[in-house]
Every structure is written in structure tokens, then in C-alpha cells.
Homo-oligomer: A and B are copies of this chain.
Amino acid sequence: MSGNTFGHLFRVTSFGESHGAAIGCVIDGVPPCLPLTEADIQVYLDRRRPGQSRHTTQRREPDRVQILSGVFEGWTTGAPLALTIVNEDARSKDYSAIKDVFRPGHADYTYWQKYGIRDYRGGGRSSARETAMRVAAGAVARKVLGAEVSIRGALVQMGPHAVDRGRWDWEAVQQNPLMCPDPDAVPVWEAFLDSIRKTSSSTGGVIEVVASGVPAGLGAPTFDRLDADLAKAMISIPAAKGVEIGTGFAAAAMTGPEHNDAMRMQDGRVTFLSNHAGGVLGGISTGQDVVVRLAIKPTSSVATPQPSVDIHGHEVQVATHGRHDPCVAIRGVPVAEAMMALVLADHLLRHRAQCGGG
């Protein structure tokens, strides 16, 4: 129960270290007879891949996914899918500088406390490199959800700079390297990021993910609520520190009549007049857009020296040089989308198990 598996029926088990031989995952519970190729997965990995603009790490990983099992002649068979990516740019560089040191903001200290051993090469298992497998698994989850469900994410705040939601344009997200839905914010963010990079600093951000076309009825009461599982999914992303469903923290300052989403009939169907709930009531989807936001802390690795200690109990100054994203929230967008897909696919199968249909 070491926590490397996500989901109950659509079940992803992840493995691999930053500088090991490979990273990968096994997906059990994939329905049979879905069309699936490596290209279907690669397209999502390419969106997360580093080194695509000056704003992300310059580590060069083609991140080429390979399907080892579970697909026969282009169709899923119901057997577990194994996906791997070979670590190609795992430089055999000299890690002696950080070998014995706990980098502030990283998991170095806690892994050491927990396990008494640590693969210090590039963070080992705690590296965000594992998120590539989330994206890969998310691509498979989208197949399970089908074309009716669309999942899209965007960066809605970088450092202190939030987007103007009135200018929201989903098309724009694909057209700028910052995954920003507000075209006017892009140059502001780019200038901000350049200043961050110049000062050897880093910044945080807020990601929003929206799932449309989710049928009403997904989720479960009590503990495994759809929103609870989404919250877990999002906070499990490295560097995530907060999550909101619908209006989120703003709901605390609202009144019931303001927050409750009124219902009317429209063309013979139930319609909600607002979506403060973020598409979930009582832990179960309403059929409206499922809306989640998550806060990403600033990248922990910065070249600015910081006070820390080492494994021998000596006080040290740590400056982390090398290839790092100044704002990991950017590449976090496809990861957050993938986690949304994993939760929805799992709950789709869970719903079908208990309530039938499909």
C-alpha cells in the first residue's frame, strides 16, 4: 500500500525514477475492443514534453511511449496495458553536490526520513518525471470516456497575474506556449517569466480543468465522491497545494440563495441556470461541466542559494543549478487534464458496475 496505484476499476500503477532505466505504468481494467495505438497516446505526451519553448526545462526527452501489452492488432483486449518510456537524457552527470543535501521544498528530507535511503539522481522517484505516465494513462482514459466527453485545461493565473475570464478563448490555449486562455495576458506572463528566470527565481500558478459532456450520475456518496476523488487526483500532482470545485473558496462568502444553482426545464430537459457547484452535487455529477482549479507552488529548484542541512546534520547553502522549469504549472496543465480523465473513467466504470447501463 505504497501508493503508486490510482483508481479502482480503471487502475493505473506507475513506476520509475527520473534517472533510472525507464518509467512506465500498467493500466488494468481497460475495457476491451477500444481502438488504441501508440500515436493516440503520444499526442498527449508531446503536449507535456519539456524543451518546447524557452519557458520550460531544456531537458531533451523525446518521451516516446511504447505499448508492451494489452493491445492486439490495434484493439484493446481487456488484458492489462503496460506502457513504458525509456529515459534517454538521464545524464550520468556528477550528483555529488546534492547527494547528501536536502534541497528545500523538495522531498529529499521526507524520503530520507521515511525510507532511510534515497535515489538522489534528479529526485529519483519524487521527480515530476513520473507525471509523463499520468498523461499517457490519461490518453487511454479518454478512449474509455468516448468522444462525448471533452477535457480541457488552461493556466488561469501565473504568479500574481490572473487571466481576465471575460476574454476566455479555448482556442488560444493551444496557440501559446503558456497554455493561457487570455491572449492579452500572454505578453504580460512572458515578460514576468523572463524576469523570474533572470533573477534565478521561480513562480507558481493556478490551473483550471473543465470536463464537458460528463453524464449525470457519476460518483458515489459519502467518501468516494466524484469531487473528493478529483481533489485527491489534483493534489497528488507534484507541487499542487490547493484545489477548488466550482466556486471553491469563494463559496464561503456566499449565501445559500446565491450559491444554489437554480433548475429549470428547457426543451424538455433539466437545465441549471448557473454552475457554482462545478458540476457535482452530493458527490455525483449533475451533467453540467465539471470544473476544477488547482494551485501549483513555485518550482522548488532555484539557483538562488538557500539555507538547508545535509544528512550528516551540517548546515549548508543549497543552490540548484541545471535544467528546471521556472513555472511548473505550465506543463502541469496536461497532467491535470489527465488526472481528470482518470477519475472520470474510473467512476464511469464504477457507475456501470453498480447501476448498469452501457
Contact = CB atoms under 8 A, between A and B. Distances in A.
Interface in A9-44: 9, 11, 13-17, 20-24, 26, 28-33
Interface string A226-267: 011111111110100111111111111111111111111100
A146 B349 CA distance: 21
A187 interface: no
A53 interface: no
Interface stretch (A56-64, A167-175, A178-186, A284-292): A284-292
B66 A315 contact: no
A29 B249 contact: no
Contacts of A26: 4, 13, 15, 26
Contact of A242 (B251, B259, B280): B251
Interface in A289-314: 295-302, 304, 306-309, 313-314
A298 B256 contact: yes
A291 to B, nearest CB: 11
Given A4-B223, A77-B117, A110 B354 contact: no
A131 B298 CA distance: 36
A13 to B, nearest CB: 5
B252 A295 contact: yes
Number of copies of this protein chain within its complex: 4
B352 A352 contact: yes
Contacts of A1: 1, 8-9, 11, 28-29, 220, 224, 350, 353-354
B234 A241 contact: no
A329 B251 CA distance: 12
A264 B76 CA distance: 29
A216 interface: yes
Contacts of A76: 117
In the A-B complex, the 5 residue pairs with the smallest Cβ-Cβ separation, listed nearest first, are A107-B282, A3-B224, A3-B220, A353-B353, A110-B284
A52 interface: no
Given A21-B68, A307-B263, A256 B80 contact: no
A215 to B, nearest CB: 8
